[in-house]
Chain A
Amino acid sequence: MTETHLGAKAAPVRFEGVSKVFGKDVVAVDNIDLYVEAGRLVTLLGPSGCGKTTTLRMIAGLEMASSGRILIGDQDVTKLPATDRDVSMVFQSYALFPHMSVLENVMYGLTFSGYAKGEARTRALEGLDLVGLTGFDSRLPSELSGGQQQRVAVARALVLEPQVLLFDEPLSNLDAKLRRQVREDIRAIQQDLGLTVVYVTHDQEEALAVSDEIVVMRNAAIAQIGNPRELYDAPNDRFVADFIGEANLLACQITAVEGNTATIEIEGYTHSLPARGLQPGAATLAVRPSRLLIGADEGIPATVAKATYVGVRMEYTLTGGFGQVFAVHDDVDTPLDPGAEIRMAFAERGPVLLPD
């Protein structure tokens, strides 16, 4: 293999007060500010209709911002159409041109970038090599499997050495096993080449796995920005807590705050955790299913309503005075039966306070 020439001219992306309104009053993106550092992989995450795809398409130039400024590198690209932006995109449907061979597909963008034919061909072959499709160049897209088509789409976007590479739900057409593989490949290529990548998905696990930083969006606005760990362990509000991983939301009382530590109380059970600036009074506690301790000596009384065996663990639905929670437990050999009365406690780390 020849040494790869593919490099990156990775550039940062900046949104300044960008809005997008469709028609007269359908607000798809509402006044967002965003900064994507060069060479980082940033995920836009959110439920359908939250504006994440519109945001991505505004970076690509496929939608024009209704107001605000978009910068790539230090160039203002707000008014620039897709053709003239140095951005390339991997589509959800891959959008491979069915009448062209794999090599022609990958060369397509290069021919518009001023490369001589020979050079374009060399680069295209290098691109295919990079995604592990050496020798597939003369096939038609229809002769490839879904995962291979996906990789052709990635190669086609990569070889242009774009300032920003965009992914629009790239894994949604792949089966579950392939997804893990491909997302690891994408992450590896991104890190090797130091690309700036903006990645859209609605799958929180995928987002946690690939991202340097996650932007959670809701109702056309940004709900929270942070690295995977921050988002998972310290969500800003109920929405983020519930969207990133499952969370049980319990009403609680903050009885005391000392420094950064708050003490809370639910049905006589007390627990200490970071206060996050909250004052004594009513609050909401978010607890991940894996952070609920079942069968502790002391804790909140609860009844097992449902018990489900899913192979690697047990899943329980517990009811009690607090309402209903969902818990998982690794002990599959001695499962609890529905109807069992138990006590439920919280793990040392994990539970987090949310403003009410």
Chain B
Amino acid sequence: MHSVSAEKTTHPVLIFWILAGWVGFCLLPWYMLEDGLWSFEWLIDGYPFDEDYAPAAFLVGQGEKLWLAPLLIPLALPFLVLGRPKSDPLYARVLVLSGALGFGWLVAQGFGIGIRGFNYDWLKALFGDLGDRQFGMGYGAMICASAFLFLFTQGIAARGAINGDVFVVSAIGGVIAIVTAFVFFPIAKMLFAAFITEEGAYSVSVFISKFFDDRLWGLGCLAGARCGAAWNSLFLAIAVGLITTVLGLAFALVVTRSGFRHKRALRALTVLPIITPPFVIGLALILLFGLSGTITVFFAELLGVQPTRWLYGLPGVLIAQTLAFTPIAFLVLIGVVEGVSPSMEEAAQTLRANKWQTFRTVSLPLMRPGLANAFLLGFIESMADFGNPLVLGGNFDVLSTEIFFAIVGAQYDQGRAAVLAMVLLFFTLSAFYAQRVWLGKKSYTTVTGKGDAGVHPLIPTGLAIPVMIIALGWALFTAIVYAMIVYGSVVELWGVNNSLTFKHYVTAFSVRFEDEGIRWTGAAWDSFWTTIMIAAIAAPLTAAVGLVTAYLLTRQDFAGKNAFEFGTMLSFAIPGTVIGVSYILAFNVPPIEITGTGVILVISFIFRNMPVGVRAGIASMSQLDRSLDESSLTLGANSWQTFRRIILPLLRPAILAALVYSFVRAMTAISAVIFLVSANYDMATSYIIGRVENNDYGLAIAYSTTLIFVMLAAVGLLQLLVGRVQIGRRTLHGTEKSP
């Protein structure tokens, strides 16, 4: 049977994509429908002849949009090779040609012709005025583009790339295409926007004047005035990175290397940043330290002084971000601290190092990658954080809020937003690069897979006491802050009328039961359901893209793999604010015209959260011995069957975790979302920010509390499910031994 399959001449995958291409061209509406992807009104409203709904074939047939006609050639080409075997050189050549021609022409006409006819003056000069225009890609165009892409990858596979493995080549092609379209293209577009003058021409001087703006780089704060946003952001991010790393390390040491009893409670802290919308901490701080905050008022009365607004500005943002991001550093460092092989430390001790020397010379250096990671995360999160500076910033301008005001404020200056975003991106990418350089090529892997019977030594006493005090003090503070959030949500009007009430919950989440069913009358329901829906759509897609990428990175070798890895991980270093700005700049004009739709939100979540999915996937896939895949391959399964029947089932816990994580992240995200929401698709977080800007703190806090509990439930459910799965699958005994 094997010898038959190797020489068969029907290729189901090829036939599928040829058909898909023709269906996209002849049957589906070519352009984006105004009512969105979910509306099927077009089916009864003039289809297939109405210009807005017509498939490309009908458009061309009616003599319109004639530039789509050449696509027929690459669509027809693959028929030539249907009967030929894969090993025929013509087979590969024709498919590559067809895919490249089709895809290339699609892209070229998409960028060349926009809503105002030709997009470029030289095209106009060459062909004269077009007198016609086109909108963003719809079903037809997207399916056609996919068909060309996968015809191309099949051609490449047939030429012998990756052993002729169609699935792997197609997966690589697909990931490259979407990452290019939704990460690199918008960023590039944004970079260009920085050079555009108000008249639409390109100019370097515009860029320079915006770039060297005093509001950006001013150093007035050294002389008592205000500093530029860039310096503010940089200083804040470095401070937050350092403080969260130190605090996170203290927590990790207490949990893993001290006699402290209530470790589980401390570990629970790690869940907090995942389920808390980032600006909620800022709100709670206002309740505590704001002008009418509990503690401010208490001390003002005690000391008989006027309450001050000291919180607003650097101190408030710094405290809020430290509170919000310390658990992230903890999460990173706890893995690293536990990962240091005990036998290394035991070896050091047997070599006559005392506890303190062991810690300083062995344990700490081995934790270096973890420390660098924690710092990088804190740095990037702080740079990208939008909610806390907005709520607490006062006169302390940072890049992320400045970008926001440049886009949505009265100034409406896309170029300035782009320049600011570039500076922000430059900072985060530099940090990303610096981390790589600092870690260098040294190997810090100490977990070898062999059994390690050792025990971690306790940290030296001289260190234990201060570490314990810091960690527990901070934990207590965090607990108070969270208690304030819950308490604040049931107070009538903070600082003015402290009576307890459920008024805010009623305003937000009231329902009325009527004859026709339930009426969601609360103010928050709209954004709540939108958020749930968008998050629920984005989660499985994020997990899928992340896991496929992880599979390619861990299990396949191909030329350019390092660049591929770097590209997919890059979006990790791109702050949400930058993604937000670049998306509205890139996707409000054809060929991809999706601003104001739910699709843009879904896509932004996929690429914001993809690196997490990739990392989770890589981590769990490297636990699976490669011989499992190999034995499946030698048993006659192809790589797709192996992926589906061996790898996916064994990754179920990782998949669940990726699903819930991306769901929750999509619900709490704000920095990119704030740019992308529209009247139809408002998200919970941007709705809450809106309430805060209107000083409606009660509702904002009540809504935030509800979100926290919803997500706590989601995470709890995950824990339950993953627990079950692991029991069902028993151990990997006998398959984990390394060869």
A residues with a Cβ closer than 8 A to B are: 60-62, 64, 75, 79-89, 91-99, 108-109, 112-114, 140-144, 146, 149, 153, 156-157, 160, 166, 168-169, 173
Contact = CB atoms under 8 A, between A and B. Distances in A.
A157 B2 CA distance: 15
Contacts, number: 118
A112 B633 contact: no
5 contacts: A61-B634, A64-B163, A108-B635, A146-B734, A166-B634
Interface string B468-498: 0000000000000000000000000000000
Q: Which one of A94, A146, A166 has the highest number of Cβ atoms from chain B below 10 Å of its Cβ?
A: A94
Contacts of A156: 631, 635
Interface string B1-22: 1110110000000000000000
A156 B632 CA distance: 10
Given A95-B625, A95-B627, A95-B630, A109 B730 contact: no
Given A93-B735, A94-B734, A173-B737, A83 B1 contact: no
B633 A95 contact: no
4 nearest A-B residue pairs (beta carbon)? A109-B635, A95-B631, A95-B627, A112-B636
B730 A142 contact: yes
A81 B163 contact: yes
B contact residues, range: 35 or more
B734 A142 contact: yes
B61 interface: no
A303 B633 CA distance: 58
Contacts of A93: 625, 627, 734-739
A96 B734 contact: yes
Nearest to A75: B3
Contact of A108 (B1, B5, B632): B632
A81 B164 contact: yes
Contacts of B628: 95, 97
B171 interface: no
Contact of B634 (A82, A113, A114, A173): A82
B641 A112 contact: yes
Interface in B607-664: 625, 627-628, 630-639, 641, 645-646, 649-650
B83 interface: no
Given A98-B735, A142-B732, A88 B2 contact: no
Interface of B: 1-3, 5-6, 160, 163-165, 625, 627-628, 630-639, 641, 645-646, 649-650, 729-739
B736 to A, nearest CB: 8
Most buried by A among B3, B650, B729, B732: B3
B633 A83 contact: yes
Nearest to A53: B739
Contacts of B1: 113-114
A91 B627 contact: yes
Nearest to A146: B734
Nearest to B734: A149
Contacts of B638: 83, 112
A18 B625 CA distance: 28
A92 B627 contact: yes
Contacts of A75: 3
Given A84-B6, A89-B631, A112-B641, 10 more contacts: A80-B6, A81-B163, A88-B635, A93-B734, A97-B632, A108-B635, A109-B635, A112-B637, A114-B1, A157-B635
Contacts of A99: 649-650, 729
Nearest to B646: A97
Nearest to B634: A89
A89 B633 CA distance: 10
Interface centre among B160, B730, B733 (most CB of A within 10 A): B733
A96 B735 contact: yes
Identify which of A83, A113, A142 gathers the most chain B CB atoms within 10 Å of its CB.
Answer: A83
Contacts of A60: 630, 634
Nearest to B732: A98
A98 B630 CA distance: 14
A89 B632 CA distance: 10
B584 to A, nearest CB: 45
B631 A91 contact: yes
A92 B635 contact: no
B160 A79 contact: yes
B18 to A, nearest CB: 23
A89 B730 contact: no
Contacts of A143: 730
A221 to B, nearest CB: 23
B237 to A, nearest CB: 39
A83 B733 contact: no
B649 A86 contact: no
A109 B636 contact: yes
A98 B165 contact: no
B174 to A, nearest CB: 20
Most chain A CB neighbours (cut-off 10 Å) among B1, B6, B631, B635:
B635
B403 to A, nearest CB: 44
A83 B163 CA distance: 10
A142 B163 CA distance: 33
- Pick from A75, A92, A95, A173 the residue with the most CB of B within 10 Å: A95
Contacts of A96: 734-735
Contacts of B731: 98, 142
B634 A98 contact: no
A60 B627 CA distance: 12
B593 to A, nearest CB: 42
Given A112-B637, A156-B635, A84 B650 contact: no
Contacts of A61: 163, 633-634
A142 B635 contact: no
A140 B735 CA distance: 12
A113 B729 contact: no
Contact of A142 (B3, B5, B733, B737): B733
A173 B734 CA distance: 9
A113 B732 contact: no
B92 to A, nearest CB: 13
Nearest to B652: A99
Contacts of B637: 83, 108-109, 112
Contacts of B632: 97, 108
Nearest to A99: B649
A87 B633 CA distance: 10
Which one of A142, A144, A173 has the highest number of Cβ atoms from chain B below 10 Å of its Cβ?
Answer: A142
Contact of B2 (A85, A89, A98, A140): A85
B633 A62 contact: yes
B650 A98 contact: yes
Interface centre among B636, B729, B736, B737, by most chain A C-beta atoms within 10 angstroms, is B636
A93 B625 CA distance: 9
B655 to A, nearest CB: 13
A94 B729 CA distance: 18
A86 to B, nearest CB: 4
Nearest to A145: B734
A113 B630 contact: no
Nearest to A79: B160
A78 B535 CA distance: 48
Nearest to B737: A93
Contact of A91 (B165, B630, B639, B729): B630
B80 to A, nearest CB: 23
A61 B730 CA distance: 32
A64 to B, nearest CB: 6
B2 A86 contact: yes
A145 to B, nearest CB: 9
Nearest to B731: A142
Contacts of A86: 2-3
A81 B646 contact: no
A46 B417 CA distance: 65
A112 B735 contact: no
B633 A113 contact: no
Nearest to A81: B163
A132 to B, nearest CB: 18
A95 B628 CA distance: 5
